[in-house]
Amino acid sequence: MKEAVFTMKLEPALRDEFMAEAKAVDRPASQIMRDLMRDFIQERQQAREYDEFVRCKVAIALASMEDSGGIPHEEIEAEAAAWRAEVLNEN
């Protein structure tokens, strides 16, 4: 596998603090950066997968609502308002 060089600009103080922390844990700064990049990539992939999962669930729910007629928004809001009033009156 060929290695690529990655150059980035950052504030000198940030670089110095990062290098000091890397040295404190006895790890090469490049290894920490690779780990951070891998973590970032995994986080973004999981976020995209979750977004797609939610989109699919919403599409299924909307289709189900259209097929069955569902409960009108106004009815749900009225029930929620009654529930809120009941809860507030109990306190």
Q: How far apart are CA 53 and CA 48, in angstroms?
A: 9
Mean pLDDT of the residues in the chain? 93
Residue 31 domain boundaries: 12-90
Evaluate whether residue 2 is within a structural domain.
no
Evaluate whether residue 43 is within a structural domain.
yes
Evaluate whether residue 25 is within a structural domain.
yes
Q: How many domains does the chain have?
A: 1
pTM greater than the 0.75 cutoff: no
Note the pLDDT of residue 66: 81
pLDDT at 63 over 70: yes
Q: How far apart are CA 57 and CA 91, in angstroms?
A: 36
Vertex 76: Cα angle to 70 and 77 (nearest 5): 145
